[in-house]
Structure 1
Amino acid sequence: MEGDNSHVYTVDEALTAVGFGKFQYYILAYAGLGWISEAMEVMILSFVGPAVKLKWGLSSSEESLITTVVFAGMLVGAYSWGLISDNYGRRRGLLSVAIVSTGAGFLSSFSPNYISLIILRCLVGIGLGGGPVYSSWFLEFVPTPNRGTWMVVFSAFWSFGTVLEASLAWIILPRLGWRWLLALSSLPSFMALIFYICTPESPRYLCMRGEISDASKILEKIANTNKRSLPFGKLTSTEDDTHSLCLVQNKPVVSKAGLLSIINLLSSNLVRITLPLWLVFFGNAFSYYGIILLTSNLSTGQISCLNSMGESNLYKDVFFTSLAEFPGLVLAAILVDRIGRKLTMVLLFITACCFLLPLVIHERQLVTTSLLFVARMCTASAITVANIYAPEIYPTSIRSTGFGVASAVGRIGGMVCPLVAVELVSNCHQTAAIFLFEAVMVVSIVGMVLLPHDTSGRALTDD
């Protein structure tokens, strides 16, 4: 291989050659730990709000604010961590996310009053906004063949986190209280902080920055760990016929900061991607988090409306509906590489609409929980596919930023949905709440249809 520039290979060709092996399993484990952390901190909202409301005598609006500030923080974090990741490296993004999530999550368990709890949970939300960094980082180590399937496997960590949190709440909350639940729920982010030292930088990101030597070393390490060989030749950053080598060390390609990055996303080439994707993420987040909050509120909030449900059903119903995410993942894994990302999302959301619609009238507890089970299965599965599509559709130079901004728009949906799930259902306006969910989901389906080409089987682009 001595200085022969006539034979070159791209990062995608290198990853395909070394395959998905032991090295990627390490990457999957770390990224999955971050995903578990985010899932647990989101799921805890179903339990902490009602517990703190009872303990401190809060109003429904004050209870809703505990959830809303977390999503407000996620809105800021999703955008900020994307910029950091694209401009300063995936590893720095991962470190920043772990520090903020761990510190704020643990300290919130010591909150002496409502105001301090609100501030600290908002900081937790900022940390949780780094979810797209974990996803983009993992994606950039996965070979193109069956990439969709591996991203679904990655999403299984989220589902595991939701079930783990529901189980913890069932065990801890009645015995030790909400403070212990908050403290124990911060452990996964603390573990992500400890194991950060083992994380490598993305070779795709390094090559995009012109750091060809460092990118090659990581690819060689992947090959050695997987006991495979890299292609013959030298690494290139492009896939065109000129095979221009990644020799732009003095001209690193970085995404623009601040508002310029959003303007970049809305450029003529990307606007057809960005705007529909924002509709998809807004509707996905509004529906998914709304169904989680609906589950807890229909278990406790209907006491005053129907006198037919008790608070003892809360843990059981949330735990049961959390299990829905696992068959949803299986469904996504079956469909995502067979019929494509777009069609999979559309079919899943239409199914979710059909199962949520009967709740416009009050149903028996078993029927309500069963309908929410299927609706959550489909919305969680649709979010999984959207989280695969978004980083695939954007080039490496703005991948984390584009995915992060889309995720941030989704957080707006998460901020708005508590006002529906808590306020409307608590005030016995369940029918109005369900109709609003249906309307938002229809808008999201429109966004799915308007998305450009499907990304199934396509190589990731760098510019």
Structure 2
Amino acid sequence: MGDGSQEYTVDEALVSMGFGKFQILVLAYAGMGWVSEAMEMMLLSFVGPAVQSAWGLSARQESLITSVVFAGMLVGAYSWGIVSDNHGRRKGFLITAMITSGAGFLSAFSPNYTSLLILRCLVGVGLGGGPVLSSWFLEFIPAPSRGTWMVVFSAFWTLGTILEASLAWFVMPTLGWRWLLALSALPSSLLLIFYSVAPESPRYLCLKGRTTEAITILEKVARLNGTKLPSGILVSDLTVELSEKSNPSEDTSLISSRTNEDVTPKEMDSNMGGISSLLMLLSPKLFSSTLLLWVVFFGNAFSYYGLVLLTSELNGHSQCVATKVQSVESQDISYKNVFIASFAELPGLIISAATVDRLGRKLSMSGMFFLCCIFLLPLVVHQPEGLTTALLFGARTCITATFTIVYIYAPEIYPTSVRTTGVGVASAMGRIGGMVCPLVAVALVHGCHQTASILLFEVVILLSGICVLFFPFETKGRELSDSVSSSSKPVSGFV
């Protein structure tokens, strides 16, 4: 180490130490945030109809309760990505947890419709920080097993949806929607309780030139995992690349920690601020990936949340009869069907785990999008309740798989300097899809336009699948990059 003969990157250190106890603890913490977001999103299926009945709201007002959450997420996804890229991953998810838990609990005491909208919008702002937690966890995983463990991480979302469906089934008929809102805010508060022991991303610290802090965390990883750090000096990919460019004719030499700390912050200065980060996402080397990713996130969110809402709406209004007797019956059916459909995410996760590191991200995603279209096609006309639930179960399985894989793919195509901003902005595009989908899933079905509603879903899902095929490169097996130029280089052997 003292003779200047060796160097290693964060990726090489993680591969050397492997996936162990440290990553399990990080997984548990990040997973709790994912459970929280899933529960807050799933409760929209139950709160909207309950509040509409209690306060005599119109269908448009009911839809707005869902839409304002996505509007808040649109703001939060972009904002928290910038915060975490410039001030650290920990600060990013600390603020989001505070807003989500606080506004979520207070919304249970909303005295009127307007206050409920404001508080649910604030919950959405907090939920927009979800991509920060996923990117944070991703940066602790060794590259060879990244796909598999990101699928495991996604399982926490499924756990959250099942917990929320179960909670609603027991709480709503007896205690009502206010108790559901209050209890659903509990998981996000756990992030605050254990925040003090959550480590910062060593990759982020290394890129910022804070190599001493990064090494301290990597040493903790090695200690908990029962392994050792590689010998040599820790450097970032960006530092290595700058060194190679400045000395193209010389053999690669050891870069001192002083050089690493001097060069990297200057490079990062150009990334400070939201405008410059967005411009980097739209730079020539990332432009096509960014635009295609936006379309896929929009289609994924539009389809996923639309299917969640359709599970209750199609059975409740499929024959366009709105008698009081049917309304009472359909409420019980909604709990049962949403609970059943929530389990569709389990096979979706299994499919993701089986294909993401074998077939690759692109083929796995596109195949699931096209299969989802096939499941939805019979629903252009009214089907019996059992068949409707089965078809929605299949469609939900497919869309869960695509959602899982796109959250693996998105952080992999961006460099560390704009990773959470890139995923955050893409997620924000998805929130726009989430804002629009209630107008389709609720309004069109309520208006006896089931065929038009399903056909619109078909078009959006098909377009998303086609966009996946046009992604510039496959990321299976790639190491995470620190610079824009290295992030746009495909790995040999992959499309």
* TM-score, length of structure 2 as denominator length: 0.91
Q: Corresponding residue for 2:289?
A: 273
Output the CA distance in 1 between the equivalents of 2:278 and 2:458: 29
| Counterpart pick for 1:348 among 368, 382, 395 | 368
Per the alignment, residue 317 of structure 2 pairs with: 301
Aligned residue identity for 2:442: V
Shift of 1:248: 3.8
Alpha-carbon separation, structure 2, partners of 1:447 and 1:397: 25
1:157 is aligned to: 156
SS of residue in 1 equivalent to 2:481: coil
CA-atom RMSD, angstroms? Answer: 1.3
Q: Aligned-pair distance for 1:382?
A: 0.3
Counterpart contact for 1:48–1:178, Cα < 8 Å: yes
2:227 maps to 228
Q: Give deviations 1:396-423, integer Å, cap 9, x for gaps.
A: 0000000000000010000000000010
Aligned to 1:334: 354
Q: Quick one: distance in 1 between partners of 2:319 and 2:199? A: 52
After superposition, the Cα gap between the structure-2 partners of 1:227 and 1:311, relative to the gap in structure 1 and judged at 3 Å, is: same
Who is 1:454 aligned against?
474
Give unpaired runs (5+ residues) of structure 2.
Answer: 242-251, 484-495
CA distance in 2, matches of 1:269, 1:458: 17
Deviations 1:423-442 (A, max 9, x none): 00011110000000011112
Do the aligned residues in 2 keep the contact of 1:105 with 1:121 (CA within 8 Å)? yes
The amino acid across from 1:281 in the alignment is: F
Indicate conservation of the 8 Å contact 2:90/2:198, yes or no.
yes
Partner of 2:244: none
Counterpart of 1:99 in structure 2: which amino acid?
M
Please say if residues 90 and 201 of structure 1, whose CA atoms lie closer than 8 Å, have aligned partners that are also in contact: yes
> 2 CA distance for matches of 1:445 and 1:306?
36
Matched-pair contact (CA < 8 Å) for 1:101–1:123 = yes
Query: Alpha carbons of 1:47 and 1:243: their partners in 2 closer, same or farther (altered >3 Å)?
Result: farther
Residue 404 of structure 1: aligned partner: 424
- Structure 1 residue 443, shift from structure 2 partner: 1.6
The residue type paired with residue 26 of structure 2 is I
Distance verdict in 2 for CA 1:303–1:314, change over 3 Å: farther
Q: Deviations over 1:71-119 (max 9, x none)?
A: 0000000000000000000010011111111110000000000000000
* Residue of structure 1 equivalent to 2:490: none
Supply the AA of the counterpart residue of 2:80. Answer: W
Cα deviation digits, residues 155-198 of structure 1 (max 9, x gap): 00000000000000000000000000000000000111111111
Residue pair 1:78, 1:126 contacting (<8 A) in 2 also? yes
Q: Does 1:413 align with 2:433?
A: yes
Q: Secondary structure at the match of 1:110?
A: coil
152-161 vs 249-258, which moves further:
249-258
Deviation of 1:303 (Å): 5.9
- Deviation, structure 1 residue 299: 2.9
Distance in structure 2 (CA, Å) of the matches to 1:67 and 1:242: 56
Distance 2:272 2:306 in 1: 34
- The answer as to whether partners of 1:20 and 1:142 remain within 8 angstroms in 2 is yes
The superposition leaves residues 259-312 of structure 1 with CA deviations (integer Å, 9 ceiling, x where unpaired) of 332222111111021000011100000000000011121132336349887322
Quote the residue 1:66 is aligned against.
Answer: 65
Q: Distance in 2 between matches of 1:35 and 1:78?
A: 14
SS in 2 for 1:175: coil
Paired residue for 1:375, among 395, 409, 432?
Answer: 395
State the distance in 2 between where 1:144 and 1:259 align. 30
TM-score by length of 1: 0.98
Tell me by how many angstroms 1:449 deviates. Answer: 1.2
Aligned runs of 1:23-102 on 2, under 5 Å? 23-102=22-101
Cα deviation, residue 249, structure 1: 2.9
1:4 touches 1:233 (CA, 8 Å); kept in 2? no
* Matched-pair contact (CA < 8 Å) for 2:5–2:253: no
Unaligned ranges ≥5, structure 1:
none
Q: Is the 8 A contact 1:76 1:408 kept in 2?
A: yes
**For residue 264 of structure 1, what is the aligned residue in structure 2?**
280
Q: Supply the distance in 2 between the matched residues of 1:228 and 1:34 (Cα, whole angstroms).
A: 28
Residue of structure 2 in register with 1:249 after alignment: 261
CA contact (8 A) 1:206 1:215 kept: yes
CA distance 1:299–1:213, change in 2 (3 Å): same
> Partners in 2 of 1:327 and 1:4 — Cα distance?
53
| Counterpart position of 2:196 | 197
Contact 1:236 1:243 in 2 (8 A): no
- 1:141-152, aligned counterparts within 5 Å? 141-152=140-151
Q: Offset of 1:26 from its aligned partner?
A: 0.4
Report the number of matched residues.
462
Query: Any idea what the Cα deviations from partners look like across 1:342-364, whole Å, max 9, x if unmatched?
Result: 00000000000000111000000
Q: Is the 8 A contact 2:367 2:465 kept in 1?
A: no
Mapped to 2, the partners of 1:281 and 1:313 lie a distance apart of: 30
Partner of 2:104: 105
SS in 1 for 2:108: helix
- Where 1:146 maps in the other structure, the secondary structure is helix
Partner residue, 1:184: 183
Partner SS, residue 127 of structure 1: helix
Report the secondary structure of 2:65's partner residue.
helix
CA contact (8 A) 1:237 1:245 kept: no
- 314, 318, 340: which one aligns with 1:320: 340
2:404 maps to what in 1?
384
